[in-house]
Structures are given as C-alpha cells and as structure tokens.
Structure 1
Amino acid sequence: MTVTSPMEHVASWYAASANSAPRRPALTGDIQCDVCVVGAGFTGISAALHLAEQGFQVVLLEASRVGFGASGRNGGQIVNSYSRDMDMIESRYGSETARVLGDMAFEGNRIIRERVADYGIDCDLRDGNLFAACNGKQMAGLREHKALWERYGHQQLELLEGEAVKREVGSDRYSGALVDHSGGHMHPLNLVLGQAAAFESLGGVIHEQTPVDRLTHGERVRLETPGGVVSAARVVMAGNAYLNGVLPELESKSMPCGTQIIVTEPLGEDRGRALLPNGLAVEDCNYLLDYYRLTADNRLLYGGGVNYGGQDPADIEAVIRPKMEKTFPGLKGVSIDYAWSGNFLMTLNRLPQFGVINDNVYYAQGYSGHGVTCTHLAGRLIAEVMTGREERFDAFAGLPHLPFPGGRMLRVPLSALGAWYYSTRDRLGF
C-alpha cells in the first residue's frame, strides 16, 4: 500500500474513485461563530448540515481532509440499528430507554437517503444487505433478530435457508441468511464529500488541515489551532477515534480499533454477478466478522479483522486475502489493487457515547462498528438538542459508560483476549 501524508487521504479505492472536491484552506486568524464543529466525518458533517439548515452560523474544523477517518474508509454498508440489539438495551437500561432508542433505530438509514435525494449526491447508493449465518446457532440468532426488529416496526426482512442463500451469495460457507431489503451500500467518501458541499451551499465554512491543539471551556469556548483561534458559543466534538487527547476525560471510556479492507482488480460484470448475483452487501455473524460487497466498477471490496488499539498490521493483504479466498475459493490468486486500514471507536457496552460538557460542548462518538447510520442520526439529534428538543439526545446521553477494565494500559490485551474467546466460539459453532 502506498504511504500517504497524514494530512491526506489514505491510498484507498475510495480516494482513487472519489468525486472532485476543493481543498479547503486552513484557518488563519481569529474568528467567531455560533457553533464550531470539530471533525469533518459523518458525525461532524451531519451535525453541521442540520445546524446550517436551521440558520446557525457554523464553522467546521478538520485536522486533515473531509472524510479522512472512518467515514471515508469504511465498508460502505448501510446497516440498520446499533451495535447492540434492542433486547439487550431493554433488559439493561429499561423499557422506556429501549422505546426511545427503538423508535430511532432505523432513522439514520432514512437520513442518508434523504440527503442523497435532497442534495443530488452521487455516491452509488444501492439497496439491500445480508447477514450471513456460518452455523446453526447463528441461524437461530438471525430468526430471533428478525422477530426483534419486527417488534420495533421493521418489516423489510427476509430469511433464507439452505440453497436459497446461493441466490444471493456464491459461496458454500453459509447455512442461512437474513436479507434487510431496506439496508444498502454506497461510496462513503463520496457521501461525506457530497454532504460537505451541501453544508457549504448553505453558507457553512470548512477549514481543512486545521487540528485543534487546545480547547478552553467557558461561556464562549476557545479553540486554538496552529493558525488561529475560534470563539464559539457552542461546540460539537466529532473526532471519534481521531480526537487525539482534546477531550481526555472521554479516553478511558473508549478505545480505537483498526479494521482492514482489500479491493480486487476489476472482475468484470459476469464474474462479479457470480459472487453476489443481486449486488447485496454482506456481513457474516461472527464476533470478528467479515464484510464485503461489489463496487461500481465490479471489484470485490472485502474487509474484516479488528486490531485493538488501532495499530495497523504490517501486511494488510496477508491478513485479509485468506478470509476472502475462504469465502470465494475461485478468487485465489486474484490481484489486489488496494489495501488500507482505518480506526473506529469502541465503547465497553458497544453503544455510542453522547453527552454535554460544561453545558455548551457536545459530543457524539463510539459507534462500535455501526457508525454509518448512527452518525447521521447523531447529527440530527445534536441539532435538536441545540434548539430545545432534548428527549432523543438525552436518551443516548443517559446511557452509563464505564471505563475499560485495567485502564489504558490493559484495555487492549484484555479486549483482545475477549475477542479470541468469542472468535474461538464462532469457529467451533458454540
């Protein structure tokens, strides 16, 4: 993989196929605004766009480029709900919290589609994703999952068993599957770039290559950058796994995790259709799951694995190629044109962290692998709470978040040990 500057996008297929976008100048001098958003990924851009639509004067600061982090590197899958199922939320946090969160579980998906339609965003949006069961226990779990989602009003689901799975995935690995016809996939970097352009069309201002070095709380928040200072009545911290110590009080309750993706050479339409006949995005049901889909130019994009602590493996292709070839033996030896990794932020309870510090610094982070949809929901909720509608934001903000056991020194080895345990159970079918 080509080494890139930390101020530029990684050398991914997304960056190579991205729509044209301007370079936004770094901040120079001192400015004031109603709201300063820190981080130009899905959370930050979603919040900024919602706020600009409601008349706020918004300035957005990005340490590198729009979509530099997970928002421009992920698998591109639109997966509904959260990283924890609603039954767990209900049993742990009560029926009222589950009701409010359940009412929002599919809203992020709708927001993405509204943005694409309203602003004419070209991001190769396609319908449908599939959860694949590798054994009987996982298939039983998918039946329960379907019934659970239907309790919360989601009816666009279809169970597939046995040979019916072959209608959607050309692999012998799976005993069954659950298709979510309302899900989908897209080019995530183009989605965030399109929303950034929409934000700017409403008068919003973006400064790239403008890291925040220091945040000082007060009636107006002061954000110091290498080239200037922003004074804002309110701030949205949306750096997720890339905040780099700006809000140290949150670090003990979250952990960056790396995931890796490879993209093949173009396979051609016929070969691509043999792998995924109807073009659905797929993720399996393992604890350390694999996920994959076809790109617009008929490449297979295949991801998987988790590196706790966010360190990159020395050879990404060596990690992911065996997983791809296990799923699709016919791709043995195919050329890999792109390989990259990126960090997402995980919390101990796998639910996102929302909150407010000092009454005017808002944050949303820690989507634990379900960020594509939940980030878009987060942006809407931040705009709601800033206009006096607090119930939905507070339902997330009220979720308790505990530090990882062992603190910063032990959170990586302990999490890796837990992942080994659950992945071993997956392999043995327990």
Structure 2
Amino acid sequence: MQPIHMPFWQQQALSLEAEYTPIELTQAVTADICIVGGGYTGLWSAIKLKQSKPDLRIVIVEAKLCGSGASGRNGGCMLTWSTKYPSLARLFGEEEAGRLVTASENAVYEMDAFCKEHKIECELRVDGTYYTASNNAQIGSMDSIVSQLTAKKLNSWTKQPLEKVQRATGSYAHLEGLYSPAAGSVQPGKLVRGLKTTAEKLGITIFENSPMSTLIEGQPATVVTSKGRVNASKVVLATNAWMPSQFREFARSVTLVSSDMLITQPIPALLKTIGLETGCAVVDSRTFVHYYRTTEDGRLMMGKGGNMFAFANKVSPAFDQPSRYQPILQSALNKFFPSIPWHKVDTTWTGPSDRSVSGFPFFGYLRENPNIIYGLGYSGNGVVQTYLGANIIRSLVLEEDDEWSRSGLAQGPRGQFPPEPIRWIGAMTVRNAIRRKEAAEDTNKSPWWFDKQLAKLAASAGKSDK
C-alpha cells in the first residue's frame, strides 16, 4: 500500500504549527449548531453565523485536520462566476445571474479585507486573472460572454494586446487574453488554517480527527463520532466531495473528478526572467483547463482539470497520492514554459472536485428536515464561491428570508447524473472525446464531429477545476 501523500499546501501550512495538537471529540456535547466538515464551507459558515449571532454555540467536527480535503489542496486561484454569466442567466434568470456575478467579484475583495483584519497570513494577492486562448480554436471564446456582461453593465474584462498577454502570463503559448482585476491567488492551506484559528478566537469549538459515523435525524439532531457525539438544534453538512458516499441522496447529484497539480522548487530568478512576478491567476479556455500562478516564495504552481473520475463517487486512496497524470502535467509545463525543466518540479498532488450537473453549487435541507442544512457541488470553483455559499447556509440556518435563502442555488440539486456504471462509462467517454478534440485543436486539425458533440455535454456545465 502506498503511503498517504499530504498535499504541498497543507504541508507548508502545518509546518507553521509545530506545537499544534488537534483536539478530538471524546464526550457528548451540546450545541446550537454542529457543522460537519472543517474546510472552507464549514469554517466560513461558522464564522458568518457567529458574527451574525455571537451567542450561538457552534461546534465543528472534522474527520482529519481542517484543510485535509479539497480546501487544502486546490490550486489557490481566486476566480469568480463572471465567465459563467450565460449559464447563470439560463438557470436562474438575468437578475439573479447579475447579482451572483457581482457578489462573486465583491467576494474577492471582501476575503482580502477579512484576512487583513484578522491577520491571516495566507499569501492572498488580488492581482487579477488572465483568461486566455492556448490554441486557435479557443480564440474568441469569451466574446459572447463579454458582450452579455457589457450589456448588463457587469463587465470587468478587457481584451489585452497579445504582446502584453504573453509578457504578463510569461508564456508565448497564449494567443489571446482578457484580463479582469477581480481575482487573484491565495495559499489555500494557510487560508483554511487561518480561518480555523479565527473561528476559535471567535468562540467556535473545533474537534479534529473526529469523523462523523452517524447522523441521527430529529430535534435535536445528533452527530455521532467514534468517541463522542454532538446534540445540536441544527446541523450543517459541509463535507462536499465526501457527501455522496455519506448520503445516498447525493449519489447522482455530483460526479467526483480530479484536478492534478504540480509545484516547482523555488525558482524566483527564472520566473522573473520569464515575466511571472505577480499573484495573477492564468486560465485557458479549454473544457478541462490548464491553470497556473506563482507563489510568494518564487514557485510556479500549475494544474490540469478533468483527469480521474471516481467510480460510484468513492474518494479512493488515489486522491491522497502523487498525481497519476504526471505525463499530462509534464506536457503542460513544457507547452507553456519550455525553459522550466521537469527536474525543477518539487512535487505533484491530486484534489477531488464535486462537479454538479449544472456546474454550480447547490444548497438545501436534507430529506426536508428544516434543521439539517447542506451545501456542495462547487465544481472546481470553490475558493471564492465557498465564501458566498456560507451566506446561503447562514440564511438557511437562521431562517432568514433574503436574497440568499431565495436564491436558485438554495433549491437543491438541478438534475442528476445517470446511475452507475452508466455514469462512469459516460464520464470516461466524454473525457476521452474532449482529450481527442483538444489534441486535434492544439495541432490546428479539425476534430471529429462525434468528439465535438460529446464535448458540448461537459462544456454546457462550465469549466473544470482551478
């Protein structure tokens, strides 16, 4: 059996907590609210609930350490919903779509202000993002979206001269680029650990290494762990990619897909030569995107979405190992940065993304229990969007009638994937079609008609993980 591989970001963050000893739940406790899951969704929700009502007794139970899941192993690109405006408008109407786009862009600045106020040192840099074309077929892919955003006075994107795009992104592989200032990057492990510390300072109790074994529905509801239990008036389920294996209701609501990442050794001089000197996030326009950004200590992080699909949505040990797709990552590194040799790569890792049918997260009440609230399905866009998801959870928990509780995102999942094994076979068929289509486009060849039609099935739900 291969050893468990702790993702790079989490290693960095935990190295700053040398004297830290996690506290396990070993007895029965009572709370107003018990949140299951100590990642971004759970921590932001706890903090926003506590800020709204300081007297609330809030307990978080986390299976491992806060940040052990997707929150501590994503790419750290802080992106918004602006590129998904057409899909939002189709699903929820133009007014709600505009509100969500604006809220997602504001969230970038609000998160930055929060981290500064609470002294969370997480390398958060609001340096914007470039959305690019990395082959001829991708050129113009943002035109319609920008036109719609402009018509609604929502547009933050500006098309940049090609020379500026290639200089700012550090790569001649980009053939077109648009820039938005409402984005950036963050060290995800340090952010989640910083949120944990902030939550505890606010009076929120956090138990780690305390996985939920059973949820007993009722009033109060009871969250049972191996050594203790929490009796709570309300429960929030925030385990995201792990939710389908815990609750059969979500078995077909999402499909788990990996995003695979590499990070180099510190190479600040080389990055400066290339032109990468900010925390700007760079994403290309393919369905399973390439994405990259630098770190404050002079490393390059690069990722590729849409690789491993989990059969029956089981979070297998492969998600805790170095990436199985190192050849794909090596090919991407060589495509964008031929001057960076593979031996400069420090490590690789894998993260699970809970991709919904719509490409957007969804929230609601478990089995219509008004005291059990859930949220999942961030579809690879959770760094900023979990901050917004916490607004929905806060409103649902506090039973408030506002724009968040009335949002279309708060009406449960939209659609289902087919049952197994059809879902997995279908996912692999579509994935392979997308790979063939994009490989052909990279060499300026015309893809097969059949591959183009299959690729539309994934493109309709939006892009993959960042």
TM-score by length of 1: 0.91
Q: Distance in 2 between matches of 1:190 and 1:153?
A: 35
Question: What code does the residue aligned with 2:439 have?
Answer: R
Question: 1:256-306 CA deviation, whole Å, 9 max, x = no partner?
Answer: 111111111221234345152544221111111111111111111111132
CA-CA distance at 1:115 after TM superposition: 1.8
My pick for the range that moved more, 347-356 or 157-166, is 157-166
What is the 5 A alignment of 1:99-114?
Answer: 99-114=98-113
Query: How many residues in Structure 1 have an aligned counterpart in Structure 2?
Result: 423
Q: Displacement, 1:332?
A: 2.8
1:233 CA displacement: 0.5
Matches within 5 A, 1:187-266: 187-243=187-243, 245-266=245-266
Q: Could you tell me whether the CA contact under 8 Å between 1:275 and 1:328 is conserved in 2?
A: no
CA contact (8 A) 1:14 1:187 kept: no
Q: Which moved more, 1:9-18 or 1:31-40?
A: 9-18
Deviation string, structure 1 residues 85-119 (Cα, Å, up to 9, x no partner): 22223234434543543443324323322321221
Report if aligned partners of 1:262, 1:339 keep a CA contact under 8 Å in 2.
Answer: yes
More off after superposition, 226-235 vs 98-107: 98-107
- What residue number does 2:8 align with? 12
Match of 1:374 in 2: 385
Is 1:414 the counterpart of 2:394? The answer is: no
Of 151-160 and 330-339, deviating more is: 151-160
Deviates more, 1:329-338 or 1:199-208: 329-338
Residue of structure 2 equivalent to 1:158: 158
Q: Distance in 2 between matches of 1:414 and 1:276?
A: 39
1:113-124 equivalences in 2 (<5 Å): 113-124=112-123
**How far apart are the structure 1 equivalents of 2:323 and 2:101?**
40
C-alpha separation in 1, matches of 2:391 and 2:91: 25
- Cα deviations across residues 326-377 of structure 1 (Å, max 9, x unaligned)? 1111113432211111111011121111111211111111010111111111
> What is the TM-score normalised by the length of structure 2?
0.84
Partner Cα separation in structure 1 for residue 113 and residue 165 of structure 2:
31
- 8 Å Cα contact 1:143-1:159 kept in structure 2: no
151-160 or 221-230, which moves further after superposition?
A: 151-160
CA distance in 2, matches of 1:152, 1:71: 33
Residue 91 to residue 245, structure 1, CA distance change in 2 (3 Å): closer
Superposition pairs of residues 30-429 of structure 1, within 5 angstroms: 30-54=28-52, 55=54, 56-81=56-81, 85-126=84-125, 127-151=127-151, 153-243=153-243, 245-306=245-306, 307-309=308-310, 312=318, 315-357=324-366, 358-387=369-398, 388-395=400-407, 396-398=409-411, 400-405=413-418, 407-429=419-441
- CA offset at residue 70 of structure 1? 0.8
Letter paired with 1:10: M
Find the residue that maps to 1:90 and give its secondary structure: helix
Letter in structure 2 aligned against 1:158: T
Quote how far apart the aligned CAs of 1:156 are. Answer: 3.7
Q: What is the SS of the residue equivalent to 1:189?
A: helix
Question: For the Cα contact (< 8 Å) 2:10–2:67, is it kept in 1?
Answer: no
- Percent of aligned pairs sharing the same letter: 26
Contact 2:80 2:101 in 1 (8 A): no
Q: Distance in 2 between matches of 1:335 and 1:102?
A: 38
- Farther-moved stretch of structure 1 (321-330 vs 245-254): 245-254
Give 5+ residue unaligned stretches, structure 2.
Answer: 447-466
SS for the counterpart of 1:199 is: helix
Structure 2 counterpart SS, 1:34: strand
SS in structure 2 at match of 1:145: helix
CA contact (8 A) 2:27 2:228 kept: yes
CA distance in structure 2 between the partners assigned to 1:393 and 1:349 by the alignment: 19
The secondary structure found in structure 2 opposite 1:37 is strand
Residues 130 and 280 in structure 1, CA contact (< 8 A), matched pair in contact too: yes
Deviation, structure 1 residue 81: 1.2
Q: Which runs of 4+ in 1 moved over 6 A?
A: none
- Judge which range, 191-200 or 240-249, deviates more: 240-249
Contact 1:346 1:366 in 2 (8 A): yes
Give the partner amino acid of 2:260.
Q
- Following the alignment from structure 2 to structure 1, what is the Cα–Cα distance between the partners of residues 11 and 276? 24
SS of the residue corresponding to residue 332 of structure 2 reads helix
Kept in 2, the 8 Å contact 1:100–1:392? The answer is no
Aligned to 2:456: none
Which amino acid letter does the alignment assign opposite residue 8 of structure 2?
S
Shift of the 214–114 alpha-carbon distance from structure 1 to 2, 3 Å rule, reads same
Residues 167-193 of structure 1 show CA distances to partners (whole Å, capped at 9, x for unaligned) of: 212322111111111210010111111
Helix, strand or coil: the match of 2:47? Answer: helix
